[in-house]
Amino acid sequence: MSITKSRKNSIAVAYVKKGKGLLKVNGNPIELLMPETLRYKIFEPVLLVGTEKFKEVDIRVRVRGGGNTSQVYAIRQAIAKGIVAYYQKYVDEQSKREIKETLVQFDRSLLVADPRRCEPKKFGGRGARARFQKSYR
């Protein structure tokens, strides 16, 4: 099953299937992802739910577009939504509900998308809201 999540301009597609606990992003193991400080953000859903629930599931994530931070947030959202969808479809409703409650209690943005987008530039200024300075002479 595939889950698509996006954050700003980055799009992450997670493929979740029965397996032996593989977690890969763009073909590379999740442990090698750079920058290192943002790597812990990706591990959040794994650590919250527990590694034993990820042991029988393979997750492969493809991500493109955007910057480092928005890609990491799209990846963690795709992983979290993917594990919830997998447990709903292939396991049982009770364990899915437990996982969902755990993730929402920690951080709601793991399951709910952030709707904020970049506001387009308008005329009469150098940005979306900034205006050129007014001069009378």
pLDDT on residue 114: 82
| Model confidence pLDDT, tens digit, residues 81-124 | 898 888 888 888 888 888 888 888 888 888 888 888 889 999 99
Q: 128, 113, 120: which is closest to 10 by C-alpha?
A: 113
Could you say which DSSP state residue 112 is in?
S
Strands 10-18 and 23-25: unpaired
pLDDT in tens, 12-69: 999 998 888 888 999 888 888 888 888 888 888 888 888 888 888 899 999 998 888 8
Whether the pLDDT of residue 1 is over 90: the answer is no
- pLDDT score, position 32: 86
Provide the pLDDT for residue 7: 82
DSSP-derived secondary structure letter, 100:
H
Q: In the prediction, which pLDDT does 64 show? A: 92
Query: Rounded to whole angstroms, how far apart are CA atoms 85 and 4?
Result: 12
According to the model, what pLDDT value does residue 102 have? 87
Q: CA 91 to CA 111: how far, in whole Å?
A: 19
Q: What is the pLDDT of residue 47?
A: 87
Element (H, E) at 75: helix 68-90
Q: Where are the alpha helices (DSSP H) in 4-67?
A: 36-49, 51-54
pLDDT the model gives residue 100: 87
> pLDDT at position 51, please?
83
Which positions ≥6 away from 33 have C-beta within 8 Å?
25, 39, 42, 72
* Closest listed residue to residue 3, CA positions, set 89, 95, 108: 89
pLDDT at 89: 86
Asked whether the predicted pLDDT for residue 128 surpasses 90, the reply is: yes
In this predicted structure, what is the pLDDT of residue 44? Answer: 87
